[in-house]
Amino acid sequence: MAIFVVAHGAWSAGWAWKKMRPLMRTAGHEFWTPTYTGVGERAHLANADVDLDTHIQDVVNVLEFEDLRDVVLVGHSYGGMVATGVADRARERIAQVIYLDAFVPEDGKSLSDYLDPQSRNARQTSGDGWRVPPMPMPPDTAPSDVEWASPKRMPQPAKTLSTPIKLSGRPLPPRSYIYCTRTSPDDRFGQFAQRAKREGWGYYELDASHNPHITMPEELAALFDRIASR
């Protein structure tokens, strides 16, 4: 049995991982999916001051108050920013980190630093000044899943995308990267997949688009189980 904790993506929340929960329980694992401040069922707490540090602390608090240890920490998409901060702040509680088609920040970098100028400008000029509206779901998402998920995807507090991460410089836990090969046109996660291979992390690929927890939950659960059992 392993204890998994998910740092979810932008505009998303714990609800987006509901397909994974029974699969991971059947495999014998605990599977925690906390929701960040300002999105999902915590959307009523959204405000202009919510930033990356808020979301990092959200997950750190779950680890501390639930006294979770030897955790397999999963960071999906934007959640790679969060997971990196959590692994740095709560190093003693984390056994390994799995990045799922995720950003892997360096100290002092924000998510926006990894976007091309056109994407960065689109985010800065959209929304109402402090919230960024959701991006479309991948085109291969089943219509029933789009119908289920779209109303639940909340605007993201803009500071979460522009806050630079601050790391202590201590070694992080062992890391793995899962690269979803049905990439978007700009393939923004390929650079992190290449880094994982260069640095000798565990490296895996899924023939999936960006949200395999929605589009390919069985395959993703099997891969999580495989990585945790290494």
Contact between 220 and 206 under an 8 Å Cβ cutoff? The reply is yes
Q: How far apart are CA 87 and CA 198, in angstroms?
A: 21
Instruction: From 192, 184, 161, select the one nearest 82 (Cα to Cα).
Output: 161
> 93, 68 in Cβ contact below 8 A?
yes
Helices 52-65, 79-89: axis angle to 10 degrees equals 50
How many other CB atoms are found less than 10 A from the CB of residue 190? 13
- Rounded Cα–Cα distance for residues 3 and 208 (Å): 24
Q: Which of 12, 77, 110, 209 is catalytic?
A: 77
End-to-end Cα spacing for the chain: 12
List CB contacts of 143: < 8 A, sequence separation 6 or more: none
DSSP-derived 3-state class of residue 38:
coil
| Cβ(110)–Cβ(52) below 8 Å | yes
184 annotated active-site? no
Catalytic positions, please? Answer: 77
